[in-house]
Structure 1
Amino acid sequence: MHPILNVVVVSFHHKRGCEVEYSHPKLNGTGEAGLPDEWHLLPSLALPDGVHNCQKDTIFFLLPSKEEPGKCVFGISCYRQIDSKELLNKSDDVTRASVQKAVCVLSRIPLFGPLKAKLEVITQAYFEQKDFSKVDVLAQMYTNLCDIFDENLTGEYFSNLAHHEISIQELFVRFRHRALLLFKLFLLERKVLFIAPTGLRLGETMLAIVSMFPKLLEEGLYYATIGVNTNDKTKAVNKEKKSSDIVIEEDVGVQMTRDDPLKEKDSCGFPLSLFTQGCSFDPYLSIQSMDYISKTQSCVVGATNALFAVKKDLFDVIVKIEDDGSLVHNHIEFVNDSALERVLALTSADLRFADFVLKKVEEQMKASTSEFDGSDEWIRLQMKNYLLGLVATSRSDLQAAVPHFGVAFVNEWRRTKNHKIWVANKHEDLASVPPGHMFSEQMGVYDVYLRFEHAVNGVEGASKVIGTVNTAGKNLGTSIGETGSRVKAKFTNWWNRKNPAAQEGIEQAEEPQSE
């Protein structure tokens, strides 16, 4: 079957709300404008919440498949707003000062990055006509997309295509060491909300995290959307499992493997079964979908509507991406489970690994040549090696190695569905992976600096720790001589670069106190 399904135009009507205005090929469902029942959320997903408050946006989303029950299809929406006075041909429905529309492409396979650039260009051309009755450009786009993306997209070519324009580098630059924390968070199958001012920022962040897991983006999201993870079948299976009187861990893994829809794995066991059997992933949800969240076992969802963040009882973690126009602030808030923050605390070995990746990324981004080290593909290779070392350590239960990943984290991960499925199966290349952390070594003074940087980056209002930093630096200088002073000086210089306005406060904190 051809991967491209439809090109759809969704508009906002001041009385009827979001509605499908045009589709090519024509939709043949029972809903308005031929909308299938499975896609009833399409209009609300295509247009961002609060459409009047933004001029343009790009949204990545998932929908249940209307052809293959239990699976999903992938959508990308390009939204624009135009002043109604600029229109050359106004319909009778245009009664407001502005018109809001979105052009969407629906596909059977995840092509978020490759479709984004093409869709943005065509949407701009569609709006520049200033006559929305002229849809030839949209029909032509569908034909062109069908020519470009044919049914033979497989193997390494498809993998590279799926990761196109999904930047893990930007993820590390924005979240720094906490990018690894988010990676580990996904493994624990908790309820996580990402909230950002725009759908584009949201989708880029969430898909970048997914793309760090081997083969997950291109092969592991076909059963992910919340629309197929809250059905009666899933509930019945879960109820049956909970009613068992005697549970043997190995049997649970075997049973989960039998029920797992992701049957095709490589010789290492990838892609992981992170988003199946009641565990959902949606890079964007509208406010109309909020009721689904309580019906899932776990979920990773994105939203731009602030009402999601108010419903803290629905989530374990809320990741806030705030943009003030010049700086992007990212905050990870643990709600309803204070122990989870301790479980996910990065170890010294984790911080060394994250710092190693971050430095390579920064060096590669500054370099004039496109070197492999520090590139997105290089990062994915490092994360694969990290993940293989983690599962090998978990399986071996080597007491010397487990603490480098975090004892509490490994124990928590062992309880998840994805871990039980992974270790319940025999994977040819997994048996040869040695247990242990790539950056397990004796703790040194540099680890103290890393811990400080990680703490400051992860705390809102981090300038409050400056006094503590200086006190710690002085104590280090007293106890281990000049090395401690260098650590303090290095941290102070780093903080000044991050926040020049804090310089005055630092100097005051360093002034000697009268006895």
Structure 2
Amino acid sequence: MDDAVDKQGQNPVLHVLVVGFHHKKGCQVEYSYPPLSPDGSVDSNECPAGWKYLPTLALPDGSHNYDQDTVFFHLPGLNNPNETVFGISCFRQISVEKLKNRTADITRGTVQKSVCVLSSVPLYGHIHVKMDLITHAYFDEGDFTKVSLLEDTYHHLNDCLKQIEDLHVAPQLFVGLSVRDIVLRLRHKALLLYKMMLLERKVLFFHSPVQPLCSTILSLLSLHPGMIERGLYSSACIRPSRPMSPVPNYNGMTSVGTTQIGNEPQVISQEKPLEETKYQSTDLETKLEYVSTTAAIQVVPNGNCVREVECESHGSSEDMSDALNGDITSPKMFNGDGSSSLPRDSSMDMLGDESLQNTLSSIALVDAEKCGLPLDIFNDGYLCLPYLSLPYMDVLTDQNINGYVIGATNVLFKQKKNLADIVVEVESGRVETIDIDLKRALHLSTEDLRFGEFLVRQVSEMRHDNYLDGVGWEGGDEWIRSQFHAYTLCLLRTSLLAEGSKELDQFNKWFMAAWQETNSYKKWLLSSHSQNILEVNPGHPFTGQLSVADMKLRFAHTMQTTEGGRKLNQAMASTSRAVATTGRAVGGALTQAKGALSNWWSNLTSPGDMGQIPSNDISQQESPESIEQGVDAIQSHQVLQV
């Protein structure tokens, strides 16, 4: 991080660009300060070879459907194979009638452009807030040839960012990354997606418009301690096996990242049982009795699992079809083989939120950086690209790409076969995969559901204040990240236990086995930092005896997340609407009958009305049919009550 900012006096903001849409040439750079190429001009349309498709990132697919939006994207460094450049682009679309100076290249009824910043620091939201104002001012000017504002923006942004002390840990890094909104929207699935990131699989997030897509990905990453601050600087480093136009050519340069552990991408499903290995560090052997990185997943060639999660009998693939979204495959999943397979010290019903908060707060005091965090996930050919345009799709199939977390707005990414192991629909929160082993690994344990419920309850009960919304401590963004900080430390500490330890089940032993086979975990285990985690007690912070509340929680999670649960919810909602409609009809008839009888009785008993000529206005007269309807409604209401 420090190298990225200070090397050769480099400014945090590298370039300020204008990208426009040309009716014949498509997306192209129209202005860049400083020039993208050292020998180029500020108004050159040419991009460096390694950034050939930069304009397609700054003006995303489908952007013409929106008047304005913002996109965050990553680019590989042009000269350094171990460097990532962070892009923030604000785009707008206005009618040409609002322009004061209509140039010859504007031939359509609307004009669309983006103002883009390329930065060496992942200050997504902080830069976005400033650039949103600049973009509006640039468009309101009505003359796109006046670019002095953009040059001033470049100098002003750099001056402001240089005044921030310790930029790599500054709170400005988290501006706009609301994990509170993630918890409120995704509820328990926020934890599922957090754990999914650790498995280094091919993950596709899909949504349009693009800003909620990028914000969701980056907000989830911010739950991993230190990831935004220090973990993304190799997230776009691509060294393909063959020359490819979308990415730079690093011939003769040093290889990307550190030495990869193993030549093949790490996967959960294996053709044969993995061999048991032991960590050989003498330093750790003095403190640990046994450390295993064994993968507990055993499969046969046809892909059917040898044993199921906490079940006595074998289950079919249909039993696990909804496991990822929270389905219950068997009542025994609550309690192992029918008895308590995980003896715990106390019931969760007896633990108050205050004691849980005290426990998590004490764990969160442990320095995450000294414990080896963030994990080196986005390295060695594993990418993080919050938004990716269609021209980059072929890069993902290169043999040197081991996996990725990407965001896309183009449906072709979803339709591409074998492109993603997991597809996440951001709008609905649905997580889809056909890999049975992966579904099993991402199944949330009872303890995980308790943790998720604790977060949801605290965030939901947070006092709403228009001025302080989201910035308070308990239930706010920083509080949520602190809880995941503690969860991550407990997860790492528990992973050092011997295979078969009951504490592994508390995090889902299948997840633990799959995670221990990832490249980032193996590198963490081999580092000296792994010893510092020993001061944390192993086990899940939400361990406790199984209770009826846990069963209710599992059932509620299933109803909210599985396909079967959603269909049942829809059926119940339809039934409720039908009953409500019937109730309104009955209630309306009762009211009408009551009004008719009241008016009729008033006419009979009111002395002043005696001898008056009845009105000819039918709206003010009660017909015999209305009285009969009221009587029928009363009788129907009595039948319904019976």
* TM-score range relative to shorter protein: 0.7 to 0.9
Equivalent residue for 2:22? 13
Q: Distance in 2 between matches of 1:53 and 1:87?
A: 20
Equivalent residue for 1:137? 149
Q: Distance in 2 between matches of 1:119 and 1:101?
A: 13
Equivalent residue for 1:349? 447
Higher relative contact order (CA 8 A, sep 6+): 2
Equivalent residue for 2:372? 269
Asked if 1:57 is matched to 2:69, the reply is yes
Q: Report the Cα offset of residue 151 of structure 1.
A: 7.4
Q: Report the Cα offset of residue 396 of structure 1.
A: 1.4
Counterpart amino acid of residue 96 in structure 2: S
Asked if 1:290 is matched to 2:302, the reply is no
* Structure-to-structure mapping, 1:430-445, within 5 angstroms: 430-445=533-548
* Structure-to-structure mapping, 1:485-500, within 5 angstroms: none
Q: How many residues align?
A: 458
Q: Which structure features the higher share of helix residues? A: 1
Q: Report the Cα offset of residue 50 of structure 1.
A: 2.5
Q: Distance in 2 between matches of 1:229 and 1:355?
A: 43
Q: Report the Cα offset of residue 459 of structure 1.
A: 2.8
Cα contact 2:61–2:389 (8 A) shared by 1: yes
Cα RMSD (Å) = 3.0
Equivalent residue for 2:567? 464
Equivalent residue for 1:169? 180
Choose the corresponding residue for 1:122, options 95, 116, 134.
134
Q: Distance in 2 between matches of 1:30 and 1:365?
A: 56
Q: Report the Cα offset of residue 120 of structure 1.
A: 0.7
Q: Distance in 2 between matches of 1:26 and 1:505?
A: 64
Equivalent residue for 1:375? 476
Q: Distance in 2 between matches of 1:40 and 1:218?
A: 28
Q: Report the Cα offset of residue 13 of structure 1.
A: 0.6
Equivalent residue for 1:503? 576
* Structure-to-structure mapping, 1:45-194, within 5 angstroms: 45-150=57-162, 153-154=165-166, 158-194=169-205
Equivalent residue for 1:260? none
- CA-to-aligned-CA distance 1:183-221 (integer Å, 9 cap, x gap): 000000000000111110111100011000111011110
Equivalent residue for 1:205? 216
Q: Flag structure 1 segments of 5+ consecutive residues without an equivalent.
A: 253-264, 323-328, 467-494, 508-515
User: In the superposition, relative to structure 1, how do residues 365 and 169 fare at CA in structure 2: closer, same or farther (>3 Å)?
Assistant: farther
Q: Secondary structure at 1:429's aligned position in 2?
A: helix
TM-score under structure 1 normalisation?
A: 0.82
- CA-to-aligned-CA distance 1:456-510 (integer Å, 9 cap, x gap): 22235744235xxxxxxxxxxxxxxxxxxxxxxxxxxxx99xx865525799xxx
Equivalent residue for 2:519? 417
Q: Distance in 2 between matches of 1:235 and 1:125?
A: 41
Q: Equivalent pairs: percent with the same residue?
A: 38
Equivalent residue for 1:33? 45
- CA-to-aligned-CA distance 1:375-404 (integer Å, 9 cap, x gap): 111111110111111111111136121111
Counterpart amino acid of residue 576 in structure 2: Q
Cα contact 1:226–1:282 (8 A) shared by 2: no
Cα contact 2:37–2:48 (8 A) shared by 1: yes
Q: Distance in 2 between matches of 1:173 and 1:72?
A: 31
Equivalent residue for 2:313? none
Larger radius of gyration: 2
Equivalent residue for 1:473? none
- CA-to-aligned-CA distance 1:1-44 (integer Å, 9 cap, x gap): 22111100001111111110001112225896352223222111
Q: Distance in 1 between matches of 2:430 and 2:579?
A: 24
Counterpart amino acid of residue 215 in structure 2: E
Asked if 1:333 is matched to 2:436, the reply is no
Q: Distance in 1 between matches of 2:212 and 2:264?
A: 39
Choose the corresponding residue for 2:421, options 316, 340, 349.
316
Q: Secondary structure at 2:496's aligned position in 1?
A: helix
Q: Distance in 2 between matches of 1:211 and 1:230?
A: 31
Equivalent residue for 1:482? none
Cα contact 2:238–2:381 (8 A) shared by 1: no
Q: Distance in 2 between matches of 1:236 and 1:348?
A: 37
Q: Report the Cα offset of residue 430 of structure 1.
A: 1.1
Q: Secondary structure at 2:532's aligned position in 1?
A: coil
Counterpart amino acid of residue 350 in structure 1: D
Q: Distance in 2 between matches of 1:307 and 1:30?
A: 37
Q: Distance in 2 between matches of 1:331 and 1:38?
A: 35
Q: Distance in 2 between matches of 1:218 and 1:502?
A: 50
Q: Report the Cα offset of residue 238 of structure 1.
A: 6.2
Counterpart amino acid of residue 150 in structure 1: K
Q: Report the Cα offset of residue 139 of structure 1.
A: 1.5
Cα contact 2:260–2:519 (8 A) shared by 1: no
Q: Secondary structure at 1:291's aligned position in 2?
A: helix
TM-score under structure 2 normalisation?
A: 0.67
Equivalent residue for 1:224? 235
Mean Cα displacement is larger for which, 145-154 or 87-96? 145-154
Q: Secondary structure at 1:313's aligned position in 2?
A: coil
- CA-to-aligned-CA distance 1:292-340 (integer Å, 9 cap, x gap): 1122111000011111111142111000123xxxxxx2211113x1221
Cα contact 1:229–1:279 (8 A) shared by 2: no
